[in-house]
Amino acid sequence: MKIIVNLDVVLAQRKMSMTELASEVGVTMANLSVLKNNKAKAIRFSTLEKICEVLDCQPGDILEYRAGD
């Protein structure tokens, strides 16, 4: 089982860059890259909430569960 982060898909749909998102959310590009590249071990709910607010999306638009991967 694996949690997949589809942040790049949502960013493309919103025509927003990682730099813009990092600035608006208030996180570093490095931390956002770790999340986007599925290397993160955890995410704070406050960060997830802010990402969803900025991208006008739901957590399920960004996070996906895949069994058996």
More confident residue, 39 or 68: 39
CATH of the domain at 35: 1.10.260.40
Give the mean pLDDT of 48-68.
95
Domains contained in the chain, number: 1
The torsion angle over the Cα atoms of residues 20, 22, 26 and 29, rounded to 10 degrees, is: -140
Give the pLDDT band (50/70/90) at residue 69. Answer: low
Q: Residue 68's pLDDT band (boundaries 50, 70, 90)?
A: confident
Q: Residue 27: give the domain boundaries.
A: 2-66
What's the CA gap between 48 and 39, in Å, rounded?
Answer: 15
